[in-house]
Each structure stands twice: as C-alpha cells, then as structure tokens.
Structure 1
Amino acid sequence: MTYMLRLCATAALLAAGANCLAADRIGNAAENNLDVPSEQGIMVGFPPAPENLITLQNQGGPRFVRWSIMHSASNFPTARVSRGTNSISPLPQGRPLDVESIQTRDDNGNPISMREFYRRTGLDAMLVLYQGRVVFERYLGDMRPTTLHGMFSCTKSLVGTLAATLAYEGKLDLSAPARRYVPELAASALGGATLQQLLDMRANYRFGDDIHQSGSVQRIFHQALGVMPRPKDYNGPDGAYALLMSAQPAGEHGTGPFRYDNGSTQALGWVMQRATGKSMSQLFSERFWSPLGAEQDADMVLDVKKAEWTAAGMSANLRDLARFGEMMRLDGVFNGKRIVPSEIVADIRKGGDKAAFAASPSGPSRPGGSYHNQWWINHDAYDSYNCAGHYGQRVWIAPKGEAVIVQLSTDLGEASAQEPLRQRTYRAIVEALRRTAGNPATR
C-alpha cells in the first residue's frame, strides 16, 4: 500500500472510531459564542469578497486571526516538517470522559461550565489523553482533525528539548557562549549568553529601544521577520539573522528576573543549525515527527529571507501534538521507542530558578512556577509542566496524573489573563479522570 493510501485509510479509521471522538463538533457558532470564519464569509468564494480577503496587513486583526492561525501556509512561505515514511502510531481510544459535565471555577471561585471555559479561552480544539488513551477530543468551528493549527511559542519547547538532547549527545556545550557556534554573533549581546542562559530565558539584551515584556507582542521582532506589517518608513533589521546580530546589552546575563524573549530561542535555532548542518524543519522531522509516527507533516513559517521562524513558527495537528506530549510524559518513550533521553525529561521537570521567575511579570499568573529549557514548570501536585503559545496554545503534561491535555485556541485577550483558569481546568479534568481510574475501560 502506498504512503498516501495508507494515510487516507488510517485517517478514515481514526475519524470513524468507536466513540467518534475525532468527528464531534459542539453545536453552532451562536450556541458557543464562536467566531467561525467560514460562517462569516472569510476567504469563502472564488474569489472571496474584498472585505473577506486575508492580506498581510489584516491577517492579525481580530476578525481574521482565527482563519490565519489555521492557515499559516496560506499567509507565509513555509518549510515542511516531514513525518517521513514510518507507519502512523496509533492513539488508542479509552472510555470517553464527559468533560463538558465538569465544572471549573473562575478567578473569584465561582463555578463555570466547560462551554464557558471554551468561550473565555477561545477554544478551537482539545484532546485529553489518560494513561495513553484518548478519552476526549473536540473540534469547534472550522477546526478539523487534519487542520494544521499555529503552535506559536509552543515551538520553543521542541527547540529546548532538541537543544538539551544535542548537548546530551555531546554535539553542544550548554556552558558555551552562542558566539562559539555562530561567530556572526560576536558583536551582538546575544553572542555572549551561554546556551543554557538562552534556554532558561536568563539572557539580558534588547532590540533597538525595546526590552520585551512577557505577555506582550514583540513588535520589532515580528516586523524584522516580516510576519507583521512594517511601517512605510521602516529601516530596522531585515530578517531574523540581521535582527539577532543587532541585539544590544541590557544587563549582565544570568542576573535579574526571568525575561522572556523570542530572540533567545531564535538564536538557539541558529546555533543548532550551525552545529548540525541541518535546518530546524529537518531536525524536527528526524528527531520528533518521524520517530513519533505522526499522522501529518507539520509546517515551519519562513521569514522574509527564508530563514525558519524558530521561536514560534510551527503549525501541527492536534493529535500529533498529543503524541509529542505523551512521549514527554513517558520520559522520552513513545510506542515503545526511545526518542528523548530520560535524563533530559527528568531535568526539565526539575524546573528552573523560582525566585527569578517570581520576580518577573510572569510570576503572578503562575505562582510557584519556573522556566527551564524552554518549558513552563508548574511545580504542582501532578508535577505538571507545559509549553505555552500565543493565543492560548498549550500542551499540558501531568506525569503524576497520567494525563496529557492539548488545547489549541484563538484567545484574543491579554496573554496571561486566562492562565490561572486554564491550570484549574486542566487539574479538574485530571481529578475527574482519577475518580474513574478504577474502571478498567479507562486503562
């Protein structure tokens, strides 16, 4: 059977599974307070009406951003993260969990329904794995099981896991400054930061007059890459490489609060490309997507100079992100195959500098948390940790809860505003799962 026939057959079986979880959509737009692009006429028709046409200038606007998040390859050039030719790894079905009967609580302690959670967090899709089995899967609005949804800064956690793995293999020295691998960074403030400082967001630098604050859109970064419109009089860096070389000092590296910045991850990508002689899309394919037995290829957005947007440019489907999360929950093993060294996963779970994190703008929305190797560590009863991407992308991994929750969203609110609600809701789901743990059908 050819690859394409095998893929189509597998997709059909998945979509028509016993519980029909993958095909289940919840009501209509009015019922769920969703902005559904197709129902609004956005990019509908041949050609679409002028007011419904997506352009570089409007693709990030409130009315158009949900369509854009689901169609990055229509807005920008992309590189393919190939799934290779391996068979698709199954995601077995477990006993369905009635997630929508669960009540969560808002920041004031008032109970709210899951559908209200969907609305507040701009949910596009969610999948819950318990003990490696799919117990809940939902697609709302225009989302489908085959949609490649923007991951944004969840891309960073793949970068961090890969960098730590390359160091474990002796291909990188995390105590070395970035300029050892990329001499072009010798005159840049980024060049003097060690790879570990870049991994933990403890490098202090700025682009122009901007010192990025976590939770805000880093306009100068996005304009340099060309993924955000540039003003007519723009004279800043042209592309990611030029931007990284322009970084100016903003204090001694490794001191002060945790300081989240896209440049750290973008620099790590440049380092890994130089150290391996491979693109990030090729590395992600060889190290993750192919050995995981992913269902679909993923995409990496390219900037104006055709450099990969390492910090936030990946799009993937819901189920493949669940495979990656389950691999991390199982200490680097998936479908019986070792993909990431267990030592790397154990080190991530230990977390980073809690005091530096608490002193940062990220501290209030994640009390008791830390950041390490491009992962957000929650230090809770479930030993949970997660990636976090703009507009509410999450892969939440709870080793002590035996669960992985993937949420893909278009949350247009302030980046950290709903984080406490998300964390409470994920824990409520795990608590509901644990109440049913005695039933063999959930195993």
Structure 2
Amino acid sequence: MSSAFEANYGFRRSDVRLGNWRDAPWNVWAFRHVSELIPTARIAASAGLVEEALVNAEGLTRETLFIDGVKTIMADILAKTSTDAMVVMKSGRIVADFHAANFDLETRHILFSASKSVTAIMAGILQGDGAIDVEQVVAHYVPELESSAYADARIRDLFDMQISLDFEETYLDPRGDFARYRRAGLLEPSVAGDTPDTLLAFLSSLRRGANEHGNGPFRYASPNSDVLGLVIERASGQRFADFVTTRLWQPLGAKRDAYVTVDAAGSARTGGGICMTPRDLARVGEMMRLGGIANGRRILSQDWVADTVNNGSAEAWAQSKSVEWLPNGRYRSKWYQTGEASKAFFALGIHGQWLYVDPTAEMVIAKFSSQPVPVSNDMKRLNLALFDALASIV
C-alpha cells in the first residue's frame, strides 16, 4: 500500500536525498522542504500576524494570452514552466494566488539566486546606516579574505558582479570548483576522502581571473553574494538571519517565518539559500516598487532603490552572454533590469524563481517553480513574456 506522501508526489520521502534533491521529480517536494535536507537558520516573522484568505486565481489562469504572437491560456504557460506557486499583486493588493498541488499559504520555497537580491537589500540598509561604504574593499570588513581574489575588490564590485574571479558557474558539472562550492554550503553530499570546506574557507581559496575588478563584462558568480553576506554580518555585528529578522522581515509585515541555509560553521548561504512563502516574497517586491517603504514605514532608502532600478552598465551587460536572453538588460546591486519602457526589474533564481516588479503597471509577481533544468534561456524568455502579458490584463 502506498503512503499518502507517495500518492501526493509519486515517490517516497526516502527517495529524496542530498544527492538528488535538485533533480526532477524529487525537486518538486525538495524545493518546498529544504530544511529537512540542509541546516537552516530562522528568519522570524512577528508573532500573531494573520495571513489573509487565499485569492482564487482560477479566472486568471483561464485568461487568453498572446505569447510571441501565439494564442494560449495562462494555465498552459504555468504548466510549461513547472510552476509551484505564483502570487500577483496590483497596486499593493493581492489579486491572485496560484498554487500547484500540495502547496498552501504556509509553504516555504527556496529562492535560489533570487536570494542575492534580498541580500543586496540588507547591504543597502547598512549603507543607509553608514555602516557599509560601497567604495571600500572587501578585506576591510572580512580580513580573512586578504589573500583571496576578493582582497582588493570593492563592495560595489560585489553588488554588480564585476569581480575578476577564476571560477565557472557550471551547474551540471559534478566536479570542479562549483561542486566544491556546493559541498561547502552543505548542498551536496561529501565525496569520499574529502572534508568539505566552510563557505569562508572556500571563498578564501578563490583566485583572481585575468581581468581587473570593476570593469569589463557582467560576470555572474554566486560566491560574490556569499562574500557580501559575510560583509553584512561583520558590518552589522549580527548573524545574517537575525539582521534580516529585525531590519526587514518584521518591519515588512511578513506573515510567515523564512529561513536560510547555513554551512557547518553557521554562515548563511546568502547567494542562494533563502526560503520563504510566495506572498512574503511578493511583499519584498512591493516594498521595492514603493521605493523602500512598507506598511507606511521606510525600510530602505529611496536613493538606494532608485539607483538599483535605474542604473547599471548597459555596456557591461551587452558584453556578456546574458544579452542572449535579455537584449536590453542591465544589472545593478543584484537586481536585473529589463531595459524596456515599463522599467520592469526583477530578481531571478535557477529552476524558475522570480520576483518581477513592473512599476508602470503597478504590478508585482512572485513565482516559484521546479523546472527540471537549472538554467534555460527559453524558459527565461517565456516567463518574461508571461509577465509582460499579465501586465496588460490584471
């Protein structure tokens, strides 16, 4: 006789392991239950907050959309992009909650690299406090990185992925530095005869690439955002999860606890380990849409938000491979800009995690997915087309 778990997911809980949790079909469950696989630290919501009732998305999912000139319905696009949940906000109000099977208002999902955008917000808060100088070098805050590639890199270089680093983000390579990076974050099982580094030890071992920091093409590298997490901890004097709790999560009015994965030393995986509900992710986007304000309270400086959503080097982007899927894009402080008339900007994570903000349409979309392939330019383009179509009907 199959268990209720097996009936819901089509496999047994015991089938999901650290070695396969990002692979289909196991990722559908694993992305919603990361804390059962990897150590985490709690990001606490305020006690006693009550979540509003679910807003039925059935009518919206039946809407006819034209994606690249092809007539379709939204439900088909959600299925094609392996959507686990999607929340749509319009003018500050939740207008639709889409949940796949076995997903509810309490379910927390991993953001993967959309975590970087949240991490940047925390650094922006510290910049507003005067505790971080973006022109200062990394080793000023984290002296343990004095002998690494990061020693003389500026905080601004971390923000904008302008670090010269001998490192390749090869998601499907089971060997090499990227696999070692994952093991340091306890995201993969250890290899026989190998003792995983801590994140700090791994970051300390990275060497500079051929170029100088701060110029050349946009160079995406997740370790840069984990370095920024260490800077945040040193500058704030708090563990990352505690700092997020007091300066973002509770002032934001988040309704559910979030959490972040940690390594063996307790360092947060700020480059990709944050997990939260889709509604709370949407609330982060709404705070950015409003220029750093939530619940009538300023959380982040308006100047920092304006710089993040309006600046960034179009030249650096045009010189990168990312121009293939976002031709007019830019990247600033770990947020992407579409470069389109809508002035839309977004956070993005592998396997289809999105926080999309369209200021012109006053729309925010939080979307979690379990796409089988970590990175697909076709899926990115399809999701962006979906969001653009939604802006005209919500």
Q: TM-score, normalised by structure 2?
A: 0.91
* More deviation, 165-174/240-249: 165-174
1:37–1:67: 8 Å Cα contact kept in structure 2? no
What is aligned with 2:10? 40
Alpha-carbon distance, 1:233 to partner: 4.4
Give the aligned partner of residue 283 of structure 1: 243
Q: Give 1:239's aligned amino acid.
A: T
Q: Secondary structure at the match of 1:190?
A: coil
Q: Secondary structure at the residue paired with 2:391?
A: helix
CA distance in 2: counterparts of 1:216 and 1:254, whole angstroms: 28
Cα distance in 2 between the residues matched to 1:227 and 1:174: 30
Residue pairs, 1:82-97, within 5 angstroms? 82-85=44-47, 87-88=49-50
1:352: Cα distance to partner?
0.8
- Does residue 181 of structure 2 align to residue 221 of structure 1? yes
Q: Is residue 286 of structure 2 the alignment partner of residue 326 of structure 1?
A: yes
Are residues 1:391 and 2:342 paired? no
1:152-190 residue CA offsets vs partner (Å, 9 max, x unmatched): 111111111121221122101100110011111110011
> Secondary structure of the equivalent of 1:362?
helix
Aligned partner of 2:168 in structure 1 is 211
In structure 2, the CA distance between the partners of 1:74 and 1:92, relative to structure 1 (3 Å rule), is closer
What is the distance in 2 between the residues matched to 1:61 and 1:93?
A: 31
Choose 263-272 or 215-224, whichever is displaced more: 215-224
SS in 2 for 1:115: helix
Alignment length (residue pairs): 384
Residue 370, structure 1, aligned to residue 330, structure 2: yes
Bigger drift between 166-175 and 224-233 goes to 224-233
Match of 2:385 in 1: 424
Identity %: 29
The CA deviation at 1:94 is 11
The amino acid that maps onto 1:397 is: V
The match for 1:294 is 254
Match of 2:132 among 158, 168, 172: 172
Q: What CA distance in whole angstroms lies between the structure 2 residues aligned with 1:71 and 1:95?
A: 24
Q: Structure 1 residues 375, 37: CA separation in 2 closer, same or farther (over 3 Å shift)? A: farther
Contact map agreement 1:215 1:416 (CA 8 A) in 2: no
Deviates more, 1:132-141 or 1:58-67: 58-67
The one-letter code of the counterpart of 1:149 is H
Q: Residue 13 of structure 1 corresponds to which residue in structure 2? A: none
SS of equivalent to 1:401: coil
Q: 2:60 aligns with which of 92, 98, 101?
A: 98
Deviation, structure 1 residue 409: 0.5
Q: Specify the alignment match of 2:16 in structure 1.
A: 54
Greater C-alpha Rg: 1
Question: What do the CA deviations read for 1:75-130 (whole angstroms, capped 9, x no partner)?
Answer: 01110001133745869979996243131425xx4333222211221100111111
Alignment of 1:4-403 (within 5 A): 38-43=8-13, 52-85=14-47, 87-88=49-50, 98-106=60-68, 109-206=69-166, 210-212=167-169, 218-234=178-194, 238-250=197-209, 251-403=211-363
Q: Which runs of 5+ in 1 are unaligned?
A: 1-35, 44-51, 434-443
- Alpha-carbon distance in structure 1 between the residues aligned to 2:7 and 2:353: 19
**Distance (Å, rounded) in 2 between the aligned partners of 1:81 and 1:216:** 32
Equivalent residue in structure 1 for 2:371, among 384, 388, 411: 411
Contact 2:107/2:277 (8 A) holds in 1: yes
C-alpha change, 1:99 and 1:382, in structure 2 (3 Å) is farther
Q: Counterparts of 1:222 and 1:129 in 2: how far apart (Å)?
A: 34
Q: CA deviation at 1:145?
A: 1.1
- Report the TM-score, using the length of structure 1 for normalisation: 0.82
TM superposition shift of 1:361: 1.7
SS in 2 for 1:397: strand
Q: Does structure 1 conserve the Cα–Cα contact (< 8 Å) formed by 2:133 and 2:155? A: yes
- Deviations along 1:14-58, one digit per CA (max 9) or x if unpaired, are xxxxxxxxxxxxxxxxxxxxxx98240332xxxxxxxx4322223
Which amino acid is 1:38 matched to?
Answer: N
* SS of 1:191 mapped into structure 2: coil
Alpha-carbon distance between aligned partners in 2 of 1:380 and 1:185, rounded to the nearest angstrom: 38
Q: Distance in 2 between matches of 1:120 and 1:96?
A: 17
* Separation (CA, whole Å) in 1 of partners of 2:370 and 2:383: 14
Q: 1:213 offset after TM fit, Å?
A: 6.0
The answer on whether the counterparts of 1:148 and 1:315 sit within 8 Å (CA) in structure 2 is: yes
> How many Å separate the matches in 1 of 2:64 and 2:294?
29
CA 1:157–1:214 in structure 2 vs 1: closer, same or farther (change >3 Å)? farther
Q: Is the 8 A contact 1:124 1:408 kept in 2?
A: yes
AA of the residue aligned to 2:244: F
SS at match of 2:233: helix
SS at match of 2:307: helix
Where 2:157 maps in the other structure, the secondary structure is helix
* 2:61 and 2:75 in contact (8 A); partners too: no
State the Cα distance separating 1:216 from its structure 2 match: 8.4
Q: Is the 8 A contact 2:60 2:74 kept in 1?
A: no
Q: Note closer, same or farther for the CA distance 1:57–1:215 as it changes in structure 2 (3 Å cut).
A: closer
- Taking the aligned partners of 1:269 and 1:67, their CA distance within structure 2 comes to 27
Farther off after superposition, 339-348 or 88-97: 88-97
Q: Structure 2 vs 1, CA of residues 345 and 92 (structure 1 numbering), >3 Å: closer, same or farther?
A: farther
Deviation at 1:301, TM superposition (A): 0.7
